[in-house]
Amino acid sequence: MPSSTCVVTGGAGFIGCAMSRGLADRFDGVVAVDNLHPQVHPRQERPAALDPRVELLVADVTDAAAWDALLGRHTPQVIIHLAAETGTGQSLTEASRHGMVNVVGTTRMLDGLVRHGQRPERILLASSRAVYGEGAWTDASGAVHYPGQRSRAMLTAGRWDFPGLTPQPHDSGRVHPAPTSVYAGTKLAQEHLVTAWCLAMGVRPVLYRLQNVYGAGQSPTNPYTGIVTLFARLARSGATIPVYEDGLMQRDFVYVDDVSAALLRGLDVAPAEPDPPYDIGSGSSVTVVELARALAAHFGAPAPRVTGQFRDGDVRHASATIAAAQRALNWTPRVGLPEGIARLAEWLPG
């Protein structure tokens, strides 16, 4: 049998490391392409969590020459595209950085494949729930509304919700995207780029819209990391966790091992043309203040404090209906929030 190779962009990151063992078990060769950005990798060294069987290529996805070097040596059957700049608030002040990595980095990859005459069997893309923006809401009659982005004036006045409307969970089959941050716009662009290229080139695109991913291995030093890790660090130090708005924002927190399992299932999902984006979450949501209280209780920290502050680009509520992903991928999340918090607390570096 010919050897099989998988290339993972952003492969030394949080999700890439979590997937690395499963990928190394599956493929003859796995290459992780990662620039080891100091915001995520302050020591800029190979992560211990990256399976030793994985080759690490320290390179930037925006560098065409790096793609030429990689594709001159390897012919990937699968590409898993994880590389991205992910800061929602940060993207509003560093829009070009997010556009360069998320959009141009994707086109550099696609152009590299064309230059080398390569067509992988499939490309898996890790997109984000952020593409939905505020998503769909319903009124008392059941009619669906898309209220759009909350304005600065609205947030300054403490008007957090949309009066008379109830938020609906994200569902790629029913809820259309409406980004409210530069980051979200670049992730939706990634979806369009990968889908258009793949369908034209006879490559299978498999897209995932991930809810709030957390767990052991998430960067504890990145100021734009997920709030579960951020809150856990504060609580462990005995600090009071500050909670923005009124604390009642709903979020779906999904453990990284469950996300890894869903992505790995995408290697085998039966053909469909095209697949809908798969919504990947825990299947339930909690308010941010409930999360903060759970973490404070776990570490014996003071009760959280609701501050009334806000962050531009943040959405009010975000959760997902995951039934379609469960059916198509033969997958189900297994780590609930209490167990996930315990795992994260046990791992969190001192």
Res 1 pLDDT > 70? no
Q: How far is CA 210 from the centre of its chain?
A: 5
CB half-sphere exposure, 7, CA atoms < 13 A: 28
Range of the domain at 272: 5-347
pTM over 0.75: yes
pLDDT tens digits for range 111-124? 999 999 999 999 99
Q: How is residue 110 written in tokens? A: 């696609």
Structural domain count of the chain: 1
Active site members: 183
Contact 220, 229 (CB under 8 A): yes
Residue 287 is part of a domain; what is its CATH number?
Answer: 3.40.50.720
pLDDT of 85 reads 85
- For residue 55, what are the β-bridge partners? 31
Res 105 pLDDT > 90? yes
Q: Which residues make Cβ contacts (< 8 Å) with residue 300, sequence separation at least 6? A: 238
Res 308 pLDDT > 50? yes
Res 98 pLDDT > 80? yes
- For residue 78, what are the β-bridge partners? 6, 122
pLDDT of 274 reads 66
